[in-house]
Structure 1
Amino acid sequence: MGAMENKGLNIFNSSAVLARAETATDAAHQRVEAIVAHEYFHNWSGNRVTCRDWFQLSLKEGFTVFRDAQFSSDMNSATVKRIEDVAYLRTHQFAEDAGPMAHSVRPESFIEISNFYTLTVYEKGAEVVRMIQTLLGAEGFRKGSDLYFERHDGQAVTVDDFVKAMEDANGVDLAQFKRWYSQSGTPRLVVSEQYDAQAQSYSLTFRQSCPPTPGQPNKEPFVIPVALGLLDANGAEIALRLQGEDAASGTTRVLAVNEAEQTFTFADVPERPLPSLLRGFSAPVKLEFPYSRDQLMFLMQHDGDGFNRWEAGQQLSVQVLQELIGQYQRGEPLAMDERLTEALRSLLQNETLDAAMVAEMLSLPSEAYLTEISEVADVDAIHAAREFARRELGNRLFEPLYQRYMTNREVSRQTAYEASAEHFARRALQNIALAYLMFSERSDILSLCLDQFDNADNMTERLSALASLINSPFEEKRAKALETFAEHFKDNPLVMDQWFSVQAASPLPGGLERVQALMLHPAFTLKNPNKVRALIGAFANQNLVNFHRADGSGYRFLADQVITLNALNPQIASRLLAPLTRWRKYDSARQALMKGELERILASGELSSDVYEVVSKSLA
């Protein structure tokens, strides 16, 4: 685990408390900051007021994840923090919601409580708390929190007690809202629009549904807070007045969608607007609205909500990538829509934007996310399409990428390292630019990459350069860099974990064989959970094209490790199982292979309750 908040004696995994520039990346620094904050905040939300029983686990964990996220937002870029949290939620927690281990934020039953330290309890639990804040407003939420701590200091309580404090402090009824705690699955919110030019009114109709999940075939409507704005043809925000209201109140409104189908009509809208929906990702739902690519480009340039500018870019990227996936599946030559190139070019050329935001917007949706949103995931097509798009963007945007890289790298040379938001942002943009530039396979760019690897004064730049080398065709340089890195850091276990991970995640052919060879390295042991996550976990969760090889060898490898780890560390074994539990997401041949490995694990002997629960539910 990352840490434990025992009262008076917090216990930390070394990776979650030790960080310095030479050995820890910027992401590791931010993780340490967040985890130390999380455990400290538990002094109140978890210790002073604690859980009556294990079913209330999200009472402390969801609430405290929300608190540490707010803290990290204040310490760094709030928009980028929100982007990172939502990207992680949609890629991983949404997949959990759609799989055999789907459970509500407050689970109804369990065999092994260790299996319920999950993304649903933590991350989705935090989103539920965030929605309460969105509905009540920051001031109302603070009043509710103060009453909760005052009323229950020294007690062991329930989720109901937390919600009751929010209700009593604000004079509201959250009975229907509590379905977020009892109903599992990710709601789907389909939105349609209608504009009446004569009446100057604009209507949005919301239709919500939630798919069946284990033990819950039917779902009642949730309360879904939808923060939104309307943009005119120039990108200006329109003042919002709902029909029946006396006056407009701001340009962002929160609508509480609490029926299966519900329409809201805005008055005094002089032209057909473009809606900016679910601002700040105001609810953990799958939103559907028929944006065109031109509309998404417009939102990328004009939306006043930073999260939604990024979201528009992600939606545009998804549309372009799905088109490429279709071309690949039909055997057609791959041709990428120029609009994505031009949208990203305008970002690179706009030096007034937050560098961290630009870096996030340059990052294409991950293969894991593209898998999550697919009905049937074609791993090979997804990988081919995304790699083609990255190569095309690297070549088409070579000049602006080169300029941004050189400018930021020069500042890095002249400036002492700081673990600060401004420095994090600069390095993030510098490193993603380098990754794109390396697709050119030019010798001068290789020289820049080697120079950064050899002369960086921090792990963020060194490891990023190493990753670019590892995924390049420069085999001799790649091997030398790996050897140099390992020799230099052989006595630092945490840095060697990064060395394992960067190789395990490389999508170049032969990924499984590289991982098997690395398991024989003297720095690796199955008895250390950090090593297992760094090598085996990184391979199975991040290297999809190699893990999902058509011959099933990746599945056999993972099952072998789970069987071995079942006796050594049941908690790690059960967590490693996650990729196999999602077998229904793939084609029939891969489904059969993945199911076969789950059945082999089940028949392998005496299983721990941790592993048995996950395997048995996955096969049910």
Structure 2
Amino acid sequence: MSDARLNPEAPPTPEHVAVLRKDYRPPDWLVPEVALDVVLDPERTVVRATLKVERNGDHDRPLRLAGDDLELLKVSGGEWHMDGTTLVVAIGGDSATVETEVAIAPNANSKLMGLYASGGILCTQCESEGFRRITFHPDRPDVLSRYRVRMSGDKGRYPVLLANGNEVTKGEGEGGTHWAEWEDPFPKPSYLFAMVAGDLQPNRDHFTTASGRKVDLGIWVREKDLPKTAHAMESLKAAMAWDEKQYGREYDLDVFNIVAVDDFNFGAMENKGLNIFNSRYVLADTETATDADIDAVAGVVAHEYFHNWSGNRVTCRDWFQLSLKEGFTVFRDQSFSGDMGSEAVKRIDDVRLLRAAQFPEDSGPLAHPVRPDSYMEITNFYTATVYNKGAELIRMMKTILGPEKFRAGTDLYFQRHDGQAVTCEDFVRAMEDASGIDLKHFRLWYEQAGTPKVTAKLEHDAEARTATLALTQTVPPTPEQPTKMPMPLPLQTALIGANSGAEIGTERLIILDKSEDRITFDGVDEPPLLSINRGFSAPIIVEAERRPGELERLAQSDGDPFARYEAIQELMLRVLIGGANGEAVDPDPVIAAMRDTLTSNALDPAFKGEALVMPSEALIGDRMEKVDPDAIHAAREGLRAAVGRSLARELGEAQRAGAPGSDLSPDAKGMRRLKTVSLALLAAGDPAGTAPLAKAQYDAADNMTDRQGALGILSSLDAAERQQAFDDFYLRYRDDTLVVDKWFALQAVAQRDETLATVRALTEHADFTLANPNRARSLIGAFAGNQWAFHRSGGEGYAFLADMILAIDAINPQVAARLIPPLGRWRRFHEDRASLMRGELERILKAPGLSKDVYEQASKSLA
């Protein structure tokens, strides 16, 4: 971004100036060692920091230490002055010891960055720039230090004292206090610093590494939550074993601790040896967590553990390289989850998330490359593009290189860069050097924003026994990137015999790296059907020319599970988009494909459950020139009703064939998924007749998956059973914070005329607070994602969201900024709605005291 002014109508203040990737320069000073002495108190914690610093290069510039919301008490080590919030220390030699003493107020820290209080527990969150809210420090990822931390505090209030690394000593103090010292032998950036103090109980276990080292494991929670930690512990041990087998990465400390807290801006944090988690991703049992929740716990536990190497031992040079650790680690956790369950279903789930979150990002005003060129507030770039599209880049590299060369590349990367802060370029170079394959053109994936679109046309020459595939690709313009180069697209492709249903020859990997290409297949003895981008081998949009009946045949016979799923989804989309555009459509092909899927003995229940879920209203809108929420809603509900009526018998059988909630095998999870999907379609076909059935499933449920599934269906029905179930759910779980979040969210996503009024009323509920990120997201975020309810004509939903954003911004700007994107998509809507959305963004920008987090998102949304 060449101009720091993001919106000419809202000129930036000095705090609103963009940081540019091209302006990176190495740090002037390195900090090899950090010693902290922390005297804990919820109202006034005192932090004494001793930094051993070394001049980096030939210059005479002073040491500059970032600070934020710190009360400075003492400085020693050189002449100093303050430059805004930065402490500037003049140092004559090439090394020095600088000591500071500051006071901070954890109880008053509503931003949940730095040291803050959560339900009586003191904990930290330092990524990306939270360490400067604990003490003065360079606070940049390319300054790596060894840390020694002494924590002391009231033993009754804080009986457990945890920090990074290994505990080296502890003891009793005066007046009922105690202390502990922790040392991390591995150099790390300040964003990986962590400490926790509180009244916590551990679930203890151990893991023996491949080399025979014993690692003590602990998951620390409030005592009442201990029974809900067993799954997280088993997931941790499974992840440790998987990383050794798949990547040769062994854990390196004597202990590995996880702490769960209720107030957390993200899902979890990979601090070295002391992972701090949002309790949502630790606490799980079948009574209070759905199968999806339980799978998410396993995935997030694995993700944060995998960061020990892909993020901690090898870290980012600067925040523009965020996908170096996040994209790679998301790919690793996706692979782990696929191996632990159904690989095909996991791939479907990952692609569904990519299309729901990242594709709209790529097509909107907040589009940015996987490696961005600029940012104003780095927390705004913890995005689906950096994480999920970044993971797709790693997957494509593996596809291009093959498993063996990819593994050689990761081995070389970890070996070459252990203990370093590096770039995305370093990762790609390791892949090239280990494999001997030139990936120069592939680097475009890090540089260009936007989702490539591929058109495909297959022609068959029966006499020559050949088929020719004509491919074209375009990459649409995005903000600041109006013109794009063709991207290298790895397309796993096969031809399926239209008569036999069998693959013709073997699957081929086509690398489309130009605007147009033609590929010839030989030995094609029957009319072929095109199965392209199998396994979603490239994160693109494919528009394939299809003959009548082709998608139906692929939905029956394609041997690639994802491609088969895609054929069914494409059948649905053609009917749904046609219906939303006012065309006369025939639902029979969709109904036939769904019947074949339901009754097939060759397909497992998990796949059936995913394949029968219709594309979301948001995804339908993404495929249309302009989004018409009312027409889309009517078309989707109409098709669902037709399916529900036509397949009532088959759906009823699937709904009755559920599995007990104690069985967490992939098959059992699939049966429960299919059970609720079938019930939802039955309800669409016969709302009044299905309400008692849904209430019966709710009442009889022995697990949260079935109970929440039934409640979610009832949430959109006009039936007495709806309120009965919601009242019972709240009374049953009102003491469980995470389940109450579900109660709020289910009402926010209801497909009802009254949804906005319900959501407004719920903001006054005794259990609602904007200060807790989970609770705010469960109601406000869920409602903003409810396309039909949020976009009701008149714009009341837009005004409500803007009010909530401004209210949250005063408490926690990170959470507020993440609620901007639904308003930022105004260009995709007709002018009546677009003007109302623009108006709310302009109102947000005019608000006094707006954070740079929200300012950046709102400004870019209007630019």
**Which structure's CA Rg is the greater one?**
2
Map 1:276-295 → 2, pairs under 5 A: 276-295=531-550
Match of 2:742 in 1: 498
What per-residue deviation string (whole Å, max 9, x for no partner) do you get for residues 500-521 of structure 1? 1111000111111000011111
Match of 2:474 in 1: 209
Q: How far is 1:445 from its partner?
A: 4.0
Match of 1:244 in 2: none
- Asked if 2 retains the 8 angstrom alpha-carbon contact of 1:115 and 1:571, the reply is yes
Cα distance in 2 between the residues matched to 1:336 and 1:495: 41
Higher strand share goes to which structure?
A: 2
Instruction: Mark the runs of 5 or more structure 1 residues left unpaired by the alignment.
Output: 240-250
Map 1:82-231 → 2, pairs under 5 A: 82-231=347-496
Cα distance in 1 between the residues matched to 2:324 and 2:606: 32
- Asked if 2 retains the 8 angstrom alpha-carbon contact of 1:29 and 1:419, the reply is no
Query: Is 1:342 the equivalent of 2:592?
Result: yes
In structure 2, the CA distance between the partners of 1:213 and 1:304, relative to structure 1 (3 Å rule), is same
1:457 to 702, 713, 722: 702
- Asked if 1 retains the 8 angstrom alpha-carbon contact of 2:643 and 2:685, the reply is no
Q: Which amino acid aligns with 1:590?
A: R
Cα distance in 2 between the residues matched to 1:445 and 1:564: 40
Q: Please tell me the root mean square deviation across aligned C-alpha atoms, in Å.
A: 1.3
Cα distance in 2 between the residues matched to 1:104 and 1:19: 36
- Asked if 2 retains the 8 angstrom alpha-carbon contact of 1:227 and 1:254, the reply is yes
Query: Is 1:72 the equivalent of 2:334?
Result: no
Q: Which amino acid aligns with 2:724?
A: K
Q: Which amino acid aligns with 1:130?
A: R
What per-residue deviation string (whole Å, max 9, x for no partner) do you get for residues 175-229 of structure 1? 0000000011111111122322232221112111111111111111111001000
Cα distance in 2 between the residues matched to 1:252 and 1:284: 19
Map 1:457-606 → 2, pairs under 5 A: 457-474=702-719, 476-541=720-785, 543-606=786-849
Q: What TM-score comes out, normalization by structure 1 length?
A: 0.94
Match of 2:511 in 1: 256
Cα distance in 1 between the residues matched to 2:715 and 2:306: 40
Cα distance in 1 between the residues matched to 2:861 and 2:679: 41
Aligned positions, number: 597
Match of 2:562 in 1: 307
Higher helix share goes to which structure?
A: 1
Query: Is 1:364 the equivalent of 2:614?
Result: yes
In structure 2, the CA distance between the partners of 1:440 and 1:616, relative to structure 1 (3 Å rule), is closer
- Asked if 2 retains the 8 angstrom alpha-carbon contact of 1:105 and 1:184, the reply is yes
Is the partner of 1:269 in helix, strand or coil? coil
Cα distance in 2 between the residues matched to 1:335 and 1:304: 28
- Asked if 2 retains the 8 angstrom alpha-carbon contact of 1:228 and 1:253, the reply is yes
Q: What TM-score comes out, normalization by structure 2 length?
A: 0.68
What per-residue deviation string (whole Å, max 9, x for no partner) do you get for residues 60-104 of structure 1? 000000000000000111011101111111122010001111100
Cα distance in 1 between the residues matched to 2:790 and 2:691: 29
Cα distance in 1 between the residues matched to 2:384 and 2:363: 12
Q: How far is 1:361 from its partner?
A: 1.0
What per-residue deviation string (whole Å, max 9, x for no partner) do you get for residues 245-298 of structure 1? xxxxxx111111111111111222223311100000010111111124510010
What per-residue deviation string (whole Å, max 9, x for no partner) do you get for residues 323-350 of structure 1? 22123xx7xxx76421111111111111
Is the partner of 1:280 in helix, strand or coil? helix
- Asked if 1 retains the 8 angstrom alpha-carbon contact of 2:466 and 2:521, the reply is yes
After alignment, is 419-428 or 115-124 more displaced?
A: 419-428
1:386 to 636, 655, 660: 636
Q: Which amino acid aligns with 1:520?
A: E
Map 1:609-620 → 2, pairs under 5 A: 609-620=852-863
- Asked if 2 retains the 8 angstrom alpha-carbon contact of 1:493 and 1:523, the reply is no
Instruction: Mark the runs of 5 or more structure 2 residues left unpaired by the alignment.
Output: 1-265
Is the partner of 2:818 in helix, strand or coil? helix
Q: How far is 1:604 from its partner?
A: 1.0
What per-residue deviation string (whole Å, max 9, x for no partner) do you get for residues 337-381 of structure 1? 211111111111113311010111111100011111111001000
1:267 to 522, 531, 546: 522
Cα distance in 1 between the residues matched to 2:348 and 2:605: 14
After alignment, is 214-223 or 304-313 more displaced?
A: 214-223
Query: Is 1:404 the equivalent of 2:654?
Result: yes
Q: How far is 1:155 from its partner?
A: 1.1
Q: How far is 1:567 from its partner?
A: 1.0
Cα distance in 2 between the residues matched to 1:303 and 1:213: 35
Q: Which amino acid aligns with 2:593?
A: A
Match of 1:237 in 2: 503
Cα distance in 2 between the residues matched to 1:158 and 1:221: 23
Q: Which amino acid aligns with 1:238?
A: I
- Whose RCO is larger (CA < 8 A, sep 6+)? 1
Q: Which amino acid aligns with 2:596?
A: S
Query: Is 1:433 the equivalent of 2:678?
Result: yes
- Asked if 2 retains the 8 angstrom alpha-carbon contact of 1:49 and 1:152, the reply is yes
Match of 2:270 in 1: 5
Q: Which amino acid aligns with 1:470?
A: S
In structure 2, the CA distance between the partners of 1:444 and 1:260, relative to structure 1 (3 Å rule), is closer
